[in-house]
Structure 1
């Protein structure tokens, strides 16, 4: 749904750009931007409105903008089955194009409920993996396409680092071609970590369908396992996920390849906003330095 003529082509999103977009969006939709809180700014910029029970999601890269149509189709499919996932805002169930950007509007999940954990994620994944009749045009899992697209629009990435990451893409792709998956292929969330669960009064709610596709179910079990190895989370959600899903991804011989892929994605995910979002620069440099050194024990921190 286009609510305003597309203006300047999109570039790096800065906080000033985001605030201007939010004000223009609210002026045309009748929402109130007063007191809006920017709760996330990595692959997408996410605002939580204070005056309205609405979440505004602004795509932060070319890849994210191109996937917006898939995101809303997945959201409608899940809603049709009553699956515990975020819901599009009634009346605004299509991507909104404004000033060269792509925006989606969502109902805010009511507050309440405990912190989601690996057990809750496992139950959601089991349900998702068995849900019938997915959208017929759901893309096939092609993880390197997304990484290469980010490498095509980096901010402040040196030629040497760009060349290194391109070689990584080639090597990981070659390794993936030799992996023999054990679980049946089908619908996958594509980025199934605890940060994509929202605590709700009725239990955890799944969000962020940018990477939803048809692919190997093993991939949905990798993010939590890599998070356990790389990030200082307070609980062992990997053990809970493995127990409740019934499959320990870390015991599989294909796990090292998928770990390398996940870490490559964690390094490259913010390349389109490295200059626009200076607060993440130090953490990105730490990730890049330790990834290049093949340091599998270095600890990373979430982007803030």
Structure 2
């Protein structure tokens, strides 16, 4: 539940919906991590609200990515038809999306691999998407957290790790061709519809190394409790095991830094604070074995 500082997000939703002529009565909060995601009950529309100023540019990229993938016949969620994109309310950016007909089935990592192969065939040349720049993204999150009063010792730790990762990334030699990438490729960012599985949550879409799209499942296997080897399923179906590639340790640490920092906007007033503390302790001590739990 949104409380304290984020209790005003519901009013942001109301103002944005009034701006574009939508009824937000009975809107239901679906998720609140990078964005507050609302389902409108009076319209077949999902509303996404950025939570911090540093994420505003990603909202613009998500809309462009959806249009690009659609042009190349990659199955993807659609921006809402007949509704203006983009709406600004204070420091927040709001985007509106058609609500996909979700069957409720959880997509498989084999489906994820197939959709990744289709996505990675989209030409990077001419794509009006940002370049992959993960360290800048991390630093933006850290800066936003400083303005919101998060303890300096934790933020200084993350800043130092950003510096180290930036240096290490300069030495990485990528094996796969550069392409359009999703940037956060996992089954949670797929929707199983009656017509097939489609991409969603395109905020991190950009032009960059394909290896990065294979890292989230591998890191999730290492850091979270999973009995099934989801990573191996993805690697077999995609045809490349990123954990056997020499650059994986660097990208793993980068991914884990992002998995910690993603909790900064929501952890001041919620139970996510305890989980963020666990992740920061792992990073501070170099602990690569402690299991994490998803932010709630």
Structure 2 length-normalised TM: 0.93
Instruction: Return 61-70 or 115-124, whichever deviates more.
Output: 61-70
**Alignment partner for residue 205 of structure 1, among 187, 195, 198?**
198
Task: Give yes or no for the alignment of 1:232 onto 2:222.
Answer: no
1:202–1:233: structure 2 CA closer, same or farther, 3 Å change rule? Answer: farther
**Alignment partner for residue 243 of structure 2, among 226, 229, 250?**
250
Task: Give yes or no for the alignment of 1:184 onto 2:210.
Answer: no
Q: Distance in 2 between matches of 1:225 and 1:118?
A: 11
| Deviation string, structure 1 residues 161-212 (Cα, Å, up to 9, x no partner) | 2221111011111111111111111111111122211222222221122221
Q: Distance in 2 between matches of 1:113 and 1:289?
A: 35
Q: Any residues of structure 2 matched to 1:1-304 within 5 Å, and which? A: 14-92=5-83, 94-112=85-103, 114-132=105-123, 135-154=126-145, 155-233=148-226, 235-275=228-268, 277-304=269-296
1:69–1:174: structure 2 CA closer, same or farther, 3 Å change rule? Answer: same
Q: Distance in 1 between matches of 2:14 and 2:150?
A: 31
Point out where structure 1 has 5 or more consecutive residues left out of the alignment: 1-11
What is the number of equivalent residue pairs in this alignment? 292
Corresponding residue SS for 1:273:
coil
Instruction: Return 253-262 or 86-95, whichever deviates more.
Output: 86-95
Q: Distance in 1 between matches of 2:49 and 2:114?
A: 29
Q: Distance in 2 between matches of 1:109 and 1:254?
A: 36
Structure 1 length-normalised TM: 0.90
Q: Distance in 2 between matches of 1:179 and 1:13?
A: 42
| Shift of residue 274, structure 1, vs aligned partner | 2.8
Q: Distance in 2 between matches of 1:133 and 1:228?
A: 29
1:224–1:208: structure 2 CA closer, same or farther, 3 Å change rule? Answer: same
Instruction: Return 230-239 or 284-293, whichever deviates more.
Output: 230-239
Q: Distance in 2 between matches of 1:80 and 1:136?
A: 11
Corresponding residue SS for 1:103:
strand
Q: Distance in 1 between matches of 2:163 and 2:4?
A: 29
| Shift of residue 278, structure 1, vs aligned partner | 1.6
Contact 2:185–2:216 (8 Å) recurs in 1? yes
Contact 2:120–2:179 (8 Å) recurs in 1? yes
Contact 2:102–2:193 (8 Å) recurs in 1? yes
Q: Distance in 1 between matches of 2:183 and 2:69?
A: 15
What RMSD, in angstroms, separates the aligned Cα atoms of the two structures?
Answer: 1.8
Q: Distance in 2 between matches of 1:298 and 1:133?
A: 37
| Deviation string, structure 1 residues 142-174 (Cα, Å, up to 9, x no partner) | 110000011111134222222211110111111
Contact 2:122–2:179 (8 Å) recurs in 1? no
| Shift of residue 93, structure 1, vs aligned partner | 5.2
Contact 2:141–2:261 (8 Å) recurs in 1? yes
Corresponding residue SS for 2:192:
strand
